[in-house]
C-alpha cells in the first residue's frame, strides 16, 4: 500500500509567548490526505488552522509528533508543495508576469520557458491583459488570481490554501470557487483548503475536517458525497447540500461558541 | 527640490478633501490644474527667497555691520570674482571638482560598505546580536573629530577627506540597510521559499529590493554627509577645495567668502539631491504614488 500523500500524526505545535510562557496552537492532530483529495478545514478563528498548514508546508517544524509528505518526514520545504497564504505575498516591485514566472525561474527553468508557462497560467486564471500591471494596480480579486497562478504554475502535488477567497465579495467568490474546481479537477492534486465559510467548505471539498476551539484538535471528519462536477451556486440550493450543512454546522457551532467565550474571557 | 513632483498627488487629494473639487473649476483638465498648482508653488518659493534676501540686505544696510554679517550683494560680488578672476588658490572650478570628487568617492565607498554590511547583518541574527554593542559604540564616536586623525594617517591630500566622508556616510546607510533587511515581510520570504527560492535567491530577489526604499531614503541625506565630510576635512587641513576657501575666508575675517563657500556647497548638495531623486523614482516606479510621498521627507 502506498502511504498517503500527507500524514500528520499526533502533531502538536507550541509557540513562545511574549511573556515567556508557551501557547499551544495545535494539539495532537492526526489526519491524512490522499492523492487528488480535496479536504476543507474549518474551525473558529485563531484556533490553529494556519498553523496546521505551516506544519505541512515545512515552514514550521512540529513541537511533537510527526508530519510526513509523500511517505517521508518533512524537513524543510517538501517537494511539490504549493501554498497560497492568507495574506497577499506577491512581490509588489514585480509586475504580474514576473511574479508568476518567479517560481519556475527559482527552480531553474529558463527565463523564456518560465514566461511562457506564466503567460499560460495568467490566461487560465482570467488575467490576460494585466501581465504588466503592478500589485497596487489590481483589485483584491485580481490579486488572489495572481496568487493562484503563481502557486499553480509550479504544478504542485499538494496545494495548501489558507482562506484564499475570504476577502472577496460573494459573486467573485462563487466565480473563483468554480474556477478553482475547474482548474483542480483531473489534476490529481491534493488540496487542503482552510476556510471560515462552511458553505464554501462543503461546496468544494470531498471531506470537511472540523477543528475545535484553541488549541486546535480534530473534532470531526465528514465525508461529502455530493456529485462532481459541481457548480457551487446551484449546489447550495439542493436538499442534499442543506442536509450536509446542518449536520456539519452542529459540530462546528459549539466550537465557535467556545471560541467566542475564550475571546470574551481574554478581553475581560 | 525633487519633492515637489512627489507631493503633487497628495496635495491634489488635500484639495479634494477640503471641497474645492466640488466647484465648477474642478471640471477642468486635472493636468492643467496640477500645472497651475506647480506654478504657484514655484512662484511662492522664489518670492520667499527674494523676501529673505531683501530683508537681510536691508537690515544689514540699516542696522548691522556688514563686516560680521555680510550681505547678499557682497556674497554675490565674491561669487562673481571667484568665477571670473579665480580664487587665491586657483580656478574655482578646480576647487569644486576636488571637493566633489572627494564627496563622491566617500559617498560611493561609504554607501556600498553600508549597504552590504547592513543587509548581511540584517539577515544574520547571531552575528548582529554579537556585534550590536560594538556598532553602537562606533556610532557614538564623534566622527567629525576623526577628520583630524585621518589627516595624520593619510596626509593633506584627497585621501583623508575621502576617509572622513566615507565614515560619515557609512553609518546612516548601514543602519537603514540593516533595518530594511530586518523588516522584510515574512510572508514574502515564506512565499518565495515555498515557490522554490534558495537562500541566496531570497536575499537577492526579496531582501535587497525590500530594503531598497529604506536605503534610498538614507542615500538622500548621505550625500549631504559626504559633502560635509569633504568640506570639514578640507577645513581641517588641505591644499585645495571649497572647505579651504571657507577656512581661508575665516583666516582673513572675510565673512562674504565664508557665505559664498556655503552657497557653493549648498548648490552642490541640491544638484546631488536632484540626481538621487531621479534615480529613486526610476527604481521605485512600482510603488503606489501615495507611498512615495512618505519617503520624501
Ligand atoms: N509565529 C507565531 N508565534 C506565536 N504565536 C503564534 C504564531 N503563529 C500563530 N500563533 C498563535 O497560534 C494561534 C493559532 O494561530 P493560527 O494563525 O493558526 O489561527 P487560525 O486558525 O489560522 O486563525 P484565523 O482563522 O483567524 O486565520 C493563535 O492564537 C496565534 O496567536
Ligand atoms: Mg489563519
* Secondary structure percentages of chain A, helix, strand, coil, to 5: 40, 25, 35
Q: What angle do CA B291, B293, B297 make, to 5 degrees?
A: 125
Atom of ligand 1 nearest to the CA of A48: 18
pTM: 0.78
**Which of A57, A89, A154 has the CB atom closest to B196's CB atom?**
A154
Q: Determine, for residues A89 and B191 on separate chains, whether the beta-carbon distance falls below 8 Å.
A: yes
pLDDT in tens, B22-78: 445 556 677 888 889 999 999 999 999 999 999 988 888 888 887 877 888 889 988
Which residues are B243's β-sheet partners?
none
pLDDT, block means (10 residues), chain A with 268 residues: 86 90 91 94 92 94 93 91 92 93 95 95 91 91 92 94 89 90 91 94 95 90 91 91 94 90 76
- pLDDT the model gives residue A46: 87
- pLDDT the model gives residue A1: 61
* Residue B157 CB partners (closer than 8 Å, separation 6+): B238, B239
What ipTM, to 2 d.p.? Answer: 0.90
Arithmetic mean of pLDDT, B126-151: 87
- pLDDT the model gives residue A215: 86
Reported as half-sphere exposure (CB side, CA atoms, 13 A), residue A51 has a value of 25
Provide residues with CB under 6 Å of ligand 1: A 15, 23, 25, 43, 45-51, 86, 214
Confidence at B290, pLDDT banded by 50, 70, 90: low
Confidence at B5, pLDDT banded by 50, 70, 90: very low
Burial grade of B283 (CB within 10 A; 0-12, 13-18, 19 or more):
middle
Three cell numbers at B28? 477642468
Please answer whether residues B275 and B3 qualify as being in contact, where contact means their C-beta atoms are separated by less than 8 angstroms: no
> Quick one: how far is CA A105 from the chain centroid?
24
**Residue of chain A nearest B291, judged by CA positions:** A136
Please answer whether residues B222 and B172 qualify as being in contact, where contact means their C-beta atoms are separated by less than 8 angstroms: yes
Atom of ligand 1 nearest to the CA of A26: 14
Number of A/B CB contacts below 8 angstroms equals 59
Q: What angle do CA B190, B114, B137 make, to 5 degrees?
A: 105
SS3 B144: helix
pLDDT in tens, A49-106: 999 999 999 999 999 999 999 989 999 899 999 999 988 899 999 999 999 999 999 9
- pLDDT the model gives residue A19: 87
pLDDT in tens, A182-203: 989 988 899 999 998 999 999 9
Shortest CA gap A209–chain B (Å):
24
Amino acid at each position: 500500500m502506498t502511504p498517503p500523500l500527507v500524514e500528520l500524526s499526533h502533531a502538536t505545535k507550541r509557540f513562545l509567548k511574549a511573556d515567556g510562557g508557551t501557547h499551544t496552537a495545535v494539539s495532537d492532530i492526526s489526519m491524512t490526505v490522499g492523492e487528488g483529495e480535496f479536504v476543507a478545514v474549518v474551525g473558529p478563528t485563531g484556533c490553529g488552522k494556519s498553523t496546521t498548514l505551516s506544519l505541512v508546508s515545512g515552514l514550521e517544524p512540529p513541537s511533537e509528533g510527526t508530519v510526513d509528505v509523500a511517505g517521508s518526514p518533512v524537513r524543510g520545504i517538501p517537494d511539490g508543495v504549493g501554498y497560497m497564504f492568507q495574506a497577499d505575498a506577491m512581490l509588489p516591485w514585480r509586475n504580474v508576469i514576473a511574479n508568476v514566472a518567479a517560481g519556475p525561474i527559482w527552480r531553474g527553468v529558463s527565463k523564456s520557458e518560465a514566461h511562457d508557462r506564466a503567460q499560460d497560467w495568467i490566461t487560465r486564471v482570467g488575467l490576460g491583459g494585466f501581465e504588466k500591471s503592478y500589485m497596487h494596480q489590481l483589485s483584491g480579486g485580481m490579486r488572489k488570481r495572481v496568487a493562484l497562478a503563481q502557486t499553480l504554475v509550479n504544478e504542485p502535488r499538494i496545494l495548501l490554501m489558507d482562506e484564499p477567497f475570504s476577502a472577496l465579495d460573494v459573486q467573485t467568490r462563487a466565480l473563483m470557487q468554480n474556477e478553482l474546481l475547474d482548474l483542480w479537477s483531473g489534476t490529481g492534486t491534493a488540496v487542503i483548503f482552510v476556510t471560515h465559510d462552511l458553505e464554501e467548505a462543503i461546496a468544494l471539498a470531498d471531506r470537511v475536517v472540523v477543528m475545535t476551539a484553541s488549541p486546535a484538535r480534530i473534532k470531526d471528519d465528514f465525508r461529502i458525497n455530493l456529485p462532481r462536477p459541481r457548480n457551487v451556486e446551484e449546489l447550495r440550493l439542493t436538499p442534499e447540500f442543506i442536509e450536509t450543512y446542518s449536520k456539519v454546522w452542529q459540530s462546528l457551532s459549539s466550537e465557535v461558541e467556545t471560541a467566542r467565550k475564550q475571546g470574551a474571557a481574554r478581553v475581560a | 527640490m525633487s519633492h515637489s513632483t512627489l507631493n503633487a498627488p497628495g496635495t491634489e487629494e488635500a484639495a479634494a478633501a477640503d471641497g474645492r473639487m466640488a466647484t465648477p473649476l474642478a471640471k477642468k483638465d486635472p493636468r492643467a490644474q496640477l500645472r497651475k498648482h506647480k506654478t504657484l508653488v514655484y512662484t511662492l518659493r522664489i518670492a520667499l527667497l527674494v523676501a529673505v534676501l531683501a530683508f537681510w540686505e536691508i537690515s544689514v544696510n540699516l542696522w548691522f555691520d556688514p563686516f560680521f554679517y555680510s550681505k547678499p550683494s557682497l556674497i554675490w560680488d565674491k561669487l562673481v570674482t571667484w568665477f571670473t578672476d579665480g580664487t587665491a588658490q586657483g580656478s574655482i572650478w578646480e576647487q569644486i571638482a576636488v571637493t566633489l570628487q572627494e564627496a563622491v568617492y566617500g559617498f560611493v565607498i561609504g554607501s556600498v560598505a553600508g549597504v552590504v554590511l547592513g543587509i548581511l547583518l540584517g539577515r544574520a541574527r547571531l552575528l548582529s546580536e554579537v556585534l550590536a554593542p560594538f556598532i553602537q559604540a562606533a556610532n557614538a564616536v564623534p566622527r567629525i573629530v576623526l577628520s583630524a586623525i585621518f589627516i595624520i594617517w593619510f596626509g593633506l591630500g584627497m585621501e583623508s577627506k575621502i576617509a572622513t566622508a566615507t565614515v560619515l556616510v557609512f553609518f546612516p546607510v548601514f543602519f537603514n540597510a540593516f533595518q530594511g533587511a530586518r523588516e522584510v515581510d515574512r510572508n514574502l520570504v515564506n512565499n518565495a521559499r515555498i515557490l522554490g527560492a534558495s537562500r541566496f535567491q531570497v536575499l537577492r530577489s526579496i531582501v535587497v529590493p525590500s530594503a531598497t526604499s529604506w536605503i534610498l531614503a538614507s542615500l538622500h541625506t548621505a550625500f549631504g554627509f559626504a559633502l560635509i565630510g569633504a568640506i570639514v576635512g578640507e577645513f581641517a587641513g588641505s591644499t585645495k577645495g571649497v572647505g579651504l576657501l571657507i577656512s581661508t575666508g575665516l583666516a582673513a575675517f572675510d565673512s562674504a567668502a565664508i557665505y559664498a563657500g556655503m552657497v557653493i556647497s549648498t548648490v552642490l548638495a541640491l544638484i546631488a539631491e536632484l540626481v538621487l531623486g531621479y534615480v529613486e523614482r526610476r527604481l521605485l516606479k512600482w510603488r503606489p504614488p501615495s507611498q512615495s510621498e512618505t519617503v520624501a521627507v
